[in-house]
Structure 1
Amino acid sequence: MDAEGHERFRDFVENRSSALLKTAVLLSGGDRHAAEDLLQNALIKAAGRWQRIDEPEAYVRQVLYRQQVSRWRLKWRRRELTVAEPPESTGGADASAATDLRIVMRGALARLTARQRAVLVLRYFEDLPEADVARILGCSVGTVRSTAHRSLARLRTLAPELSALGAPDADRSPSRDFSPVEARP
């Protein structure tokens, strides 16, 4: 890699590593150490091909997803989540509710299978269309749809408290959704 390419790579890492790390943390089920390893390996692969990469962020994200899929295939034992420091505290009831929601969500995501977690992260955190998720994971759009549906159902089963944490207040007006609803006897 020439000096200009080296400088562009350094700028890319400085500017985008925090966003990429967030994605890696979600993909690894909340294990920050595994996420850091995942991101570091993806950046090493990107550095080796830097001169031939047209869209660096898309390339690194795809490497992240594919490496995580490879890790799932190894079927490692699930490890206990350890953290070096307690979660940050901003104070107030709203901050505590947001922290509770993050903890519950992280625990629920960790109990999903790796494929289910990847589909949810790509569809709802990364906000990618189903076709892009299918291309990244190497499966059909129908598989993405059915996996997303089953994953959300499993999340609701594993963590029913998520609906309580995200429930609207009683003083809010009801929804104005007039879409057709199937009537069951």
Structure 2
Amino acid sequence: MPHSLTSQQNTGLIGHAGALRLNEKSLAFKAGAVVLGTLFLAVASRIEVPMVPVPVTMQTFAVAMIGALYGARLGTLTVLAWLGEAMIGMPVLAGGAGGLAHFAGPTGGYLASFPLMALLVGALTERGWNAQRPFLAFTSMLAANALCLAMGGLWLAGMIGLEKAIMLGVTPFIVGAILKSALGAASLVALSRTAKRGDA
């Protein structure tokens, strides 16, 4: 097999499992990856800019990265595990929050969108929207962020009205969504280059 193809496979840029190709690993390895993924999500949730009614955090960046790195199935499972931790009261959400109340409050729509974000980014990554195609990787993450804002805004509209929901729950996050999507795509490219250097 040509070295270039072997290198691509080792860096996880082809195939059907996300950039890390975790479907090729053992069940124990996958379980460990899920645990690490929930920790990554929890740490990202702590990075926030307080706003009302919804804070700006790095959650969407982390969710998109989990989808891209883990793939659609394991990425979605990891995000669901993280949300499950939040439901039972573990302090894994923005600002170290947890509990079922957050799923019924202003952030409920955003939280509900996170598994779908991971699923979307993971599925597109598996179809080649990855580090080899940075613009497509960026586009997949931006689409996932748009889905999050749409679901979050609609949920919020039911509480405070559509106009206020757009003004407070969508518009302030658009620039951040673009920047975090760009950061996500750049991170995938950087990880890919690091892996290739390791294979050289």
> Is the shorter-chain TM-score for this pair beyond 0.5, marking a shared fold?
no
Larger Rg: 1
Q: Which structure exhibits the higher relative contact order, with contacts defined as CA atoms closer than 8 Å and separated by 6 or more residues?
A: 2
Q: TM-score, normalising length from structure 2? A: 0.28
Using structure 1 for the length normalisation, give the TM-score: 0.29
